[in-house]
Amino acid sequence: MALGVGEALQSVICLAPGYVAHPGLPVGWVELVLAGMVLTMIRVLWRPESVTAGAGRFHTLVDLPGIGTWLRRLARHHHVLLALRMMTVAVFLLVIYAGLFGTPLPERNFATVVTWSLWWTGVILSVAFVGSAWCAICPWDALATWLVRRRLWRRAPEHVSLNLRVPRWLRTVWPAWWMFVGLTWLELGLGITTSPHLTAILALVILVLTLVSQLLFERKAFCRHFCSVGRTIGLYQQLSPLALRPIDPEACARCTTLECYHGTADIEPCPTHLVMGRLRENTFCTSCGACSQSCPQANVAWSSRPLGSEAMLDARPRWDLAWFVLALVSLTSFHGLTMLPVWEDWARQVAQVIGDSGQLLWTFTLGMAASMAVPMALFVLVAWVTWQMDGRKLPFRRLFSVLAIPVLPLAFSYHLAHNLNHLVREGRGASAVLLNPLGKGALPMSEAEMLQRQLHPLLDQDLLFALQAGLLVFGFWLAVRILQSRMSQIAGAGPARSLMLPMLVFVAGMSLFNLWLLMQPMVMRM
Amino acid sequence: MRRTIRAMLLLSLLPALASAHHVLGRPSYSLNEDSNTPPSMQVETQIGKYFVTYMVFPAFPQPGKPGRINLYVKRLRDDHPFLGKVRFTIRDDSWLASDDAREELGVQEPVDNVFRQGFVISEPGDYLVIAEFEAEGEPYRIDFPLRIGNPSSMGPLGITLGVIIVLLIAVNLLQRRRLARLKTSEYHAREEA
Ligand code: SF4
Ligand code: SF4
């Protein structure tokens, strides 16, 4: 058995000055990712093909043998959903209790482990499999709804709300955009991920915001316009293979009562003002199930669809959503950047230059602003060049919004790859925390325990690398497919090929940057 | 076997490493099993030309029990340790407390480059330890949190519940007023008709 010191360290842990960090993607996997990207590029440039064929077709899952009946029942009855909501509310309350009254050790406290290591990483993973299902069982919305409606599920004839219409200037996702930026700042800059107390306070603040929105505005304005978690999930689910859809679109076309939109005596109307029969995109669907419960023809069910088909064909380009996508792609990469061992060195140097002290919040804010501004400025440039190449046929804002759609898979794939790392490497201590949620009598994590965690991640490290590499190639491939589809819709298959070039450079550049981030050793949060 | 060898290799190297990921200026906790020192609370921060590491032993000091602060100050440019004097003071960490109510803990000189300050605090609560020194003609002041006793956090919970109740009552009242106004205007409209 020949095992050199260097090899042993490489395979378990990577050392950077002053930190324990996990090794990044090894060179072999990096080469495979690069090969995958090159092959995708060659295929697209040499063989432009219409990607509209076959995409956009739905297959209702209720027709599946065995599971279909069960899914139909699940969609029609509220009991399962209510039980799940109660469970998430119970977990949420425990998060608050543990955060406020438990140990301040983040790795021993239920609040920090469940919120940051399990929920926040898991919720993004869940979109890949079940779309926006999280929103259906979201404890913030459930608690606020119960308080306002004063009942657990049935539609309340009267409830405590001014039922105002959301002002026109707020009817965008810009509030969610700002909340997303703010949460990232709190998470990475102020470091609330390492503070159970602040984690609990943040959960309470979001609860109050949800409640205020329900008290002021009609339906669920918070979900549609303000919630950054919901909007992140909503955008990512454009790529998801599952969505709620009519079983028979013809039945919806004939329908005049629109219970899905108006609700019934018992069931709430669609919280985000959607009409199932006209639904082309699920960006604003919270999977709440109200439409499937209220439809008199039992015509709504979960359906499968080709991966990314919504982004390729159906998603309506919108200026505000385009900027949300850009925030997603830049801030997910920024997330990775702040967990590199070199980040703190850079921060210290910048802090010295600008005379920042203490927690270096100015330095962090500057770094975050730059990390957002650079990719955004590059994107604006690329959109402008494409606009010029296309002879300014479309309004600039429209082309900009169309071009932002292919960026979505880049954010999603890197987000998944990064979160997998957290889940697999930090999730190890979750069982102990579940047994002792307040961390009573627990000691800080010792170096030996930390080492144990490094040695025994939840998944084999090579499998983790394979998944990360696969995700990056998949994200790049899907981005290019979406770009191809969108450009051929704008310009036709032939001209689309040259028109795609600036965006291809952007997509490739972002993918390479994300690949570089994954290659670096990563410092864990806890 | 392979794993054991890796573990041993790494264990031999680990004392040289810092522990988990931390955020500058935020408390983090560590435990060194190989030494006799109890778990500690640690804050790292940067001020001017200096990098400061502040450690509290034990990590969760209790009222009436002795605790110790270790402070290590090094110059960022060349990692040279600061060797002057550091003055430690303490005050309540509440919004209302003022700096005038500070009490002096002591003035310390470094031993092995570390400034050590003992303390015994009888009342549980949140405190602020202030370390001050003068280097290269410039005054430096750094504030560090110190929690004595187990945390009790009824504050955020109470405020949230209070806000929720006030909001529900306020919107309820507004709704009733709106309804009453609507009824009155309907009544007048009927009267006029
Ligand atoms: S989902 Fe049901 S209620 Fe809604 S349009 Fe279709 S048939 Fe009508
Ligand atoms: S009611 Fe609206 S938000 Fe709820 S699942 Fe149906 S379409 Fe989605």
Q: Is the pLDDT of residue A16 over 50?
A: no
Q: What values do phi and psi take at A316, rounded to 5?
A: -80, 125
Helix (H, G, I), strand (E, B) or coil at A303: strand
- CA nearest A514: which of A479, A462, A463? A479
- CA nearest B129: which of B51, B41, B189? B41
Ligand 2 centre distance from Cα of residue A285 (Å) = 5
The tally of CA atoms less than 13 A away on the side-chain side of residue B54 is 26
- Residue in this structure with the two tokens 């996702």, named with its chain if needed: A173
ipTM reported for the complex, 2 dp: 0.81
Amino acid identity of residue B4, one-letter, is: T
Per the domain annotation, does A254 fall within a domain? no
Predicted confidence at residue B178, as pLDDT, reads 87
Q: Is the pLDDT of residue A18 over 50?
A: no
Ligand 2 centre distance from Cα of residue B185 (Å) = 37
Give me the mean pLDDT over the B32-44 stretch.
Answer: 78
Q: Is the pLDDT of residue B173 over 90?
A: yes
**Residues near A97 by Cβ (< 8 Å), separated by ≥ 6?**
A200, A438
User: d(Cα A349, Cα A356) in Å, to the nearest integer?
Assistant: 10
Q: Are B4 and A3 in contact (CB under 8 A)?
A: no
Q: Are A236 and A408 in contact (CB under 8 A)?
A: yes
User: d(Cα A407, Cα A383) in Å, to the nearest integer?
Assistant: 12
Contacts of B24 in chain A (CB under 8 A): 344, 347, 358-360
Residues forming a β-bridge with B56 = B41, B69
User: d(Cα B3, Cα B9) in Å, to the nearest integer?
Assistant: 10
What is the DSSP track for chain B? -HHHHHHHHHHHHGGGS--S---TTS-EEEB-TTSSPPPEEEEEEEETTEEEEEEEESSS--TTSEEEEEEEEEETTT-PBP-S-EEEEEEE-SSS--GGG-EEEEEE--BTTBEEEEEE--S-EEEEEEEEEEETTEEEEEEEEEEESS---HHHHHHHHHHHHHHHHHHHHHHHHHHHHHHHHHHHHHHH-
Ligand 2 atom nearest residue A300's Cα:
6
Tokens standing for residue B49: 């030309």
Predicted confidence at residue B33, as pLDDT, reads 65
Q: Is the pLDDT of residue A13 over 50?
A: no
Give me the mean pLDDT over the A186-202 stretch.
Answer: 92
User: d(Cα B4, Cα B83) in Å, to the nearest integer?
Assistant: 43
Predicted confidence at residue B22, as pLDDT, reads 60
Which of A19-23, A195-199, A443-447, B41-45 has the weakest average pLDDT?
A19-23
Ligand 1 centre distance from Cα of residue A165 (Å) = 24
Q: How close is the nearest chain B Cα to the Cα of A78, in Å?
A: 26
Q: Are A55 and A489 in contact (CB under 8 A)?
A: no
A441: closest chain B residue by CA = B60
Q: Are B110 and B71 in contact (CB under 8 A)?
A: no
**Residues near A168 by Cβ (< 8 Å), separated by ≥ 6?**
none
Check if CATH label 1.10.1740.10 holds for domain B2-148.
no
Q: Is the peptide bond before B58 cis (omega within 30 degrees of 0)?
A: yes
Task: Delimit the domains of chain B by residue range.
Answer: 2-148, 152-193
Tokens standing for residue A524: 């864990």
Give the length of chain B: 193
User: d(Cα A227, Cα B13) in Å, to the nearest integer?
Assistant: 45
Per the domain annotation, does A199 fall within a domain? no
Confidence of residue B152 (pLDDT cuts 50, 70, 90): low
Which tens digits make up the pLDDT trace of A99-130? 999 998 999 999 999 999 899 888 999 998 88
Contact criterion met (CB < 8 Å) for A5 and B9: yes
Contacts of B142 in chain A (CB under 8 A): 358
Q: Does residue A276's CB lie within 6 angstroms of at least one atom of ligand 1?
A: yes
Predicted confidence at residue B150, as pLDDT, reads 76
Average pLDDT along chain A: 89
Average pLDDT along chain B: 83
User: d(Cα A326, Cα A401) in Å, to the nearest integer?
Assistant: 10
* A residues 231-290 closer than 8 Å to B (CB): none
Of B11, B31, B32, nearest to A451 by CB-CB distance is B11
Predicted confidence at residue B5, as pLDDT, reads 45
Q: How far apart are the first and last CA of chain A?
A: 33
Give me the mean pLDDT over the A203-212 stretch.
Answer: 96
Q: Report which of residues A373 and A5 the model is more confident about.
A: A373
- CA nearest A409: which of A295, A298, A486, A319? A486
| Burial of A289 (C-beta count, 10 Å sphere; 0-12/13-18/19+) | buried
Q: Is the pLDDT of residue B142 over 70?
A: yes
Q: Is the pLDDT of residue B9 over 50?
A: no
Confidence of residue A45 (pLDDT cuts 50, 70, 90): confident
Give me the mean pLDDT over the A81-102 stretch.
Answer: 95
Per the domain annotation, does A228 fall within a domain? no
Give me the mean pLDDT over the A164-191 stretch.
Answer: 94
User: d(Cα B87, Cα B75) in Å, to the nearest integer?
Assistant: 18
Q: Does residue A258's CB lie within 6 angstroms of at least one atom of ligand 2?
A: no
Predicted confidence at residue B126, as pLDDT, reads 87
Confidence of residue B17 (pLDDT cuts 50, 70, 90): very low
Predicted confidence at residue A6, as pLDDT, reads 43
Per the domain annotation, does A221 fall within a domain? no
Q: Is the pLDDT of residue A490 over 50?
A: yes
Give me the mean pLDDT over the A57-65 stretch.
Answer: 85
What predicted TM-score, i.e. pTM, was given to this entire model? 0.88
Number of structural domains, chain A?
A: 1
Give me the mean pLDDT over the B48-75 stretch.
Answer: 92
**Residues near A214 by Cβ (< 8 Å), separated by ≥ 6?**
A144, A145, A148, A161, A220, A221, A222
Which tens digits make up the pLDDT trace of A290-319? 999 999 999 999 999 998 999 999 999 999
| Burial of A444 (C-beta count, 10 Å sphere; 0-12/13-18/19+) | buried
Per the domain annotation, does A109 fall within a domain? no
User: d(Cα B133, Cα A382) in Å, to the nearest integer?
Assistant: 52
Q: Are A112 and A526 in contact (CB under 8 A)?
A: yes
Per the domain annotation, does A231 fall within a domain? no
Q: Which domain holds residue A328?
A: 7-48+315-426+445-526
Q: Is the pLDDT of residue A450 over 80?
A: no
- CA nearest A514: which of A467, A464, A472? A472
- Residue in this structure with the two tokens 């190639």, named with its chain if needed: A473
Which tens digits make up the pLDDT trace of B80-129? 999 999 999 999 887 777 777 889 999 999 999 999 999 999 999 889 99
- CA nearest B65: which of B120, B10, B133? B120
Tokens standing for residue A212: 């205020």
Give me the mean pLDDT over the A326-339 stretch.
Answer: 95
Predicted confidence at residue A341, as pLDDT, reads 81
Helix (H, G, I), strand (E, B) or coil at A146: helix
A204: closest chain B residue by CA = B160
Contacts of A523 in chain B (CB under 8 A): 21
- CA nearest A310: which of A467, A115, A127? A127
